[in-house]
A and B are shown apart, each in its own frame.
Chain A
Amino acid sequence: MDFSMEFSKNQEEFAQEVIEWLGENLPEGWVNQRDPDKITYEQWQKRRELARKLGAKGWLYPQYPKEYGGGGIDSSQAAVLAREFANRGLAFPPHYDSGTLAAPAILATGTDEQKKRFLPPILKGEAFTWQLFTEPEAGTDEANQQTNALRHTRENDFFIVNGQKIFVGSTFGPPDQFLLLTRSDLKAPRHENLAMFLAPANLPGITINPLDLFTSGLLSQINGPSADISPGRKNQVFFDDVKIHESYLIDGEHDGWRVTGATLAVEHGERDRGDVGKKEGGGRWISPNVLVEKFLDQCRNNPIVKESIKNNPQLVEALVDVYIDAQIMRLFSIRNAAGKGGRYGGPQLQLHTKMSGGRLITNMAKVLGPYVLTDDEEWGLEDDIFEVGQRAGLCFAPAGTPEASKIIISRGLGIGR
C-alpha cells in the first residue's frame, strides 16, 4: 500500500504551468472570505470572471470531454489544479455553480444534441446554474414533486410550470438557468411522472425570494482552504404560469427521476470521486482540513486555551476527538480517491462528515470556549473560521440528511431497499 499523496515529476511540471497562469489571470483584489454571508457582489463577480477564464482555458471542468467544452485532461492533472487553487485559498471551481451537479447528469442521460447544446455553456463558465429540486413537500422525499409542468393545451410544444422551490440557489441571483425538477404527469405512477428541465431563469412568472437562514455553507466547505465554493444564502423560487419550451427538457418528459438519480449519485457521494465525481474537477487531491489545523494551532499557541487544557483533562479528550474525527474523514476520502470505497464508501464519507461535524463544533466549543461563537474583531478567534464553523456544523440538510445517507449505505450493503 502507498498512502502517499505526493505529486509526480510530471504533475509538478504541470503545477508550474498552472502557477504561472494563475499569476497572470487571478483577478486583482480578490479576498479569501470565509463567511459566505460576507462575500460582496464585487468579490463574487471576480470569482465568476476567473471561472470564465478557466472555462476558456478548459480548466474549469478539466476532465470533461473537449467536444463539450471541458478540458479533456486526466485526473492527475486535475488534482494539480485543485491543489494550486487551494494553495491560494481558492475553491475549485472558484464559484458555486449547481452546474457541477447538472453536468454529470446531462452527460449521463442527455441525447447527443442536448449534450452539445447544454454542456458547453456550463463547462466554459458562461452559464451560471441553480439546482431546483427541493420543495416544501419534497425534502428527503425528493420524488414527491408538487411543482407541475404540464403540456400547454394549445401550444403543445410548451409546458406551463406552477409551484415553488425552497432552500435552493446561492447568495447572488438570479442565475442564468435552472436545473428544474417538476411533475409532468398527474396520473402516471410515482417516479414515472417527473420531467427535468435545463431552463432559462429569466422567463416571465419567475420570482426569487432570498431566505434569512442562520446556517450558511457546509462544514465540509468550511474545512477546505476556502469557503467561496459555498452556496451561501438560500432562496425560495416561485413559478407562476411560466412557459418553458420542450427543447429545454433533459431526456424524455417522463424520465425526470432517471436524470435526478444521475445528479444525486454525485451529490450523495454515491459514486466514487475517481469515477463520475472526478469530472467535478477535484481529481485525487485531498485538501488539508483548515478548520482542524487552525483549532490545533489555537490549542498550541493561544495562552488562554493552553491554560484551560492544562487545568482540565476532559478537554484533552475533546481535543483528541476532534483530531480523530478529522483523521477518519481524511482516510475515508483517501480510500475513496484510491477507488477502494466499494458500494457504500461515498455516502459513508458523507455521513461521517456530517455526523462528525456535529461533534466537531461541540468539542471545539468545549476546548476554545465562547470565543468560537463570536466573529467580533477584538474577541473572535483568527479569521472568523470558528464562528462560521459553528453554523456550518449544523448544516445537516444539504445534499441529503445523514438519515438519507444511511438509506443509501444500507442499499450498498445489500440490506436495505
Chain B
Amino acid sequence: MSLDLSLTESEEMLRKTALDFIKRDAPKSVVQKLQETDTGINSELWQTAANMGWLGIIIPEKYGGTNNSLTSAGVLFEALGSRPLPGPYFSSGILSSLILLEAGAEDQKTHFLASISRGEETLTLALTESGYSWEPEAVKTTARAENGDFILNGLKLFVHDAQASTYFIIPARTADGVNPVKSISLFLVSSKSKGVSVRRLPGFFAGRYFEVKLDSVMVSPKDVLGEINHGWQPLEHAIEKSIPVLCAYKVGGCQFVVDTAIEYSRTRIQFGQPIGRFQRVQDMIIEMVNHADAARWTTYEALWKLDTHRPAAESVHLAKVVSSEAYWEVCTLAHRVFSGISYSKEHPVSFHTRASRALYHYLGDPSYHRQRLAKVLVP
C-alpha cells in the first residue's frame, strides 16, 4: 500500500524555509503594521518572496516559475498562514496564475506569468458584485463591444488585494444569453485604466476587502482572456484548483492558534493551577484541535487528488467547508481560552480572528460549498 502522509524532503525544506522567513522577515510587529496598510505588503517582503520563487510556485518553468505541485504550494501557504501574512501572495501567485494557465493565450501567459513570478505584476480576481455570490448568474458587469474595443461597466465588491494589484481579472457579460456560463468573458484590466476606481472597505477584516468600480473602462481585444463568452468554465476550473491552497493558509492559521492556546493553558495560572487542568478549558482546546485536524487532512487530501489528477470536486468542497468553519471556530474558541488579553490588537490571536473572518466567504462560504457538495453527492 502506498499510503504515506509525510512531507517529501523538498516539501519539508520548503516548510522550514518559509517558517524561518516568517520568523525573521515578517515578525508580529511587522505584520501588525502591514495589516493596517492598503496593500498588505512592503517591497522587501515582496521581493524576497519573488527571489525565493514563491510568487511563481505553481507556474511552469517555461513561464518563469518554479513549477511545484499544488501540495507544495499548500505547504508554503500553511507556513504563511501561521502568522498570518497578509498580501496578494495567493490571489496573484495562485488564483490569478491558475486562471491565466487555464484561459490565457500563449503571449498572455508568457508575459503575465513571468511578471507575476518576478513580482512585477500583481493580479487579482474581481468576480463578486453587489448581489454577493460565486455563481455566474450574479455577474452583472457588462462588456460592450465598441469600435473594436470593449467598454466595461459595473461594480465589483469584496475584492481581495485590489490596492496591491496592477491588473484585475474581470469576468463580465458579453452576451445577453440565458445561459450565463456561455455569456461571460474574462478581461485583463490594468488598475491604472481610465474609469477604474478602488476603495478600501472599512471593517473587521484587517484591510483585505475592496470595492472596484468600472466606469466605461476601455479594454483592448488583446486583453481578453480566453474565448469570448466562454470565460466561466476555465475560471471555475482555476478556482477549484486554487481552493485547497487557500484552505492550507487557514490550516496554518488554525494550527498556530491551537498551539498558542495549548501553550497558554499550560502556563496561565488561575485558582492556583494551570487553566488547562480545568475540564471546561480542555473541552474548548479539544474542540479546537478537532477542527484544526479536520481542516488539515481534508485540505491535504484535496491537494493530493488534484496533483494526481483524480476527480476532486467532492474533496475540494469538503475542504473549503471544513477549513473555513474550522478557522472561524478555532479563533472564536481561542478568545474564550485567552479571554481579556486576546482582544488586544497586538495579540497574535486577534490577527487570525480578523483573517478567519476575511477569508470565510472568499471563493465561496461554507453554506455555498455545502450546496455544491450536495449537488455532487445527490445529483
Asked whether any CB of chain B lies closer than 8 Å to the CB of A188, the reply is: no
Chain A 76-113: CB-based contact to B (< 8 A → 1; otherwise 0): 10010000000000000000000000000000000000
Report yes or no: B274 in contact with A415, Cβ–Cβ below 8 A. yes
Q: A3-B304, A320-B373, A406-B286 are in contact. Are A415 and B3 (CB under 8 A)?
A: no
Q: Report Cα–Cα, A19/B379, bound state, in Å.
A: 36
Task: Please classify the interface of chain B as helix (H, G, I), strand (E, B), loop, or mixed, using the class held by over half of its residues.
Answer: helix
Instruction: Kindly provide the distance from the CB of B314 to the nearest chain A CB, expressed in whole angstroms.
Output: 8
Chain A residue numbers with a CB within 8 Å of B301 are 3, 331
Report the separation of the CA atoms of residues A156 and B277 in the bound assembly, to the nearest whole angstrom: 45
Across the interface, which residues of A come within 8 angstroms of B10, CB to CB? Answer: none
Q: Does B370 contact A (CB under 8 A)?
A: yes
Total B residues in contact with A, Cβ cutoff 8 Å: 42
In the complex, how many residues of chain A place their beta carbon closer than 8 angstroms to a beta carbon of chain B?
A: 45
Chain B residues lying within 8 Å of A317, measured Cβ to Cβ, are 367, 370
Bits for A383-417, please: 1 = Cβ < 8 Å to B, else 0: 00000000000000000000000110110011111
The 0/1 profile, CB within 8 Å of B marked 1, for residues 173-200 of chain A is: 0000000000000000000000000000
Expressed in whole angstroms, the Cα–Cα distance for A415 and B267 within the complex equals 10
CB distance from B225 to the nearest CB of A (A): 32
> Is residue B371 contacting chain A, with contact meaning CB distance below 8 A?
yes
List residues 267-300 of chain B with CB under 8 A from any CB of chain A: 274, 276-277, 279, 281-283, 285-286, 289-290, 293-294, 297-298, 300
Question: Which residues from A are CB-within-8-Å of B2?
Answer: 2, 4, 6, 8
Given contacts A335-B5, A415-B262, A1 and B293 within 8 Å (CB-CB): no
Are the C-beta atoms of B266 and A1 separated by less than 8 Å? no
B276 contacts A416, C-beta separation under 8 Å:
yes
Q: From A6, A76, A340, give the contact of B5 (CB < 8 A).
A: A340
In the assembled complex, the Cα of A299 lies from the Cα of B71 at a distance in Å of: 33
Least Cβ distance of B299 to chain A in Å? 10
Interface status of B265 (Cβ within 8 A of chain A): yes
Judge whether B297 and A334 touch: CB under 8 Å: yes
* A2-B298 contact in complex given A338-B3, A348-B290, A416-B276, C-beta closer than 8 Å: no
Closest A residue to B283 by CB, please name it. Answer: A406
Residue B34, interface by CB 8 Å: no
3 nearest CB pairs, A to B: A415-B276, A331-B297, A338-B5
Enumerate chain A residues within 8 angstroms of B266, measured Cβ to Cβ: 414-415
B4 engages A338 (CB within 8 Å) = yes
Q: State whether B282 touches A11 (Cβ < 8 A).
A: no
> Could you say which of A4, A331, A414, A417 contacts B294, with CB atoms under 8 Å apart?
A331
Q: A1-B6, A2-B3, A8-B1 are in contact. List 12 more A-B contacts (CB 8 A).
A: A1-B71, A5-B1, A296-B378, A300-B378, A324-B321, A328-B297, A338-B4, A406-B279, A406-B282, A410-B285, A416-B277, A416-B282
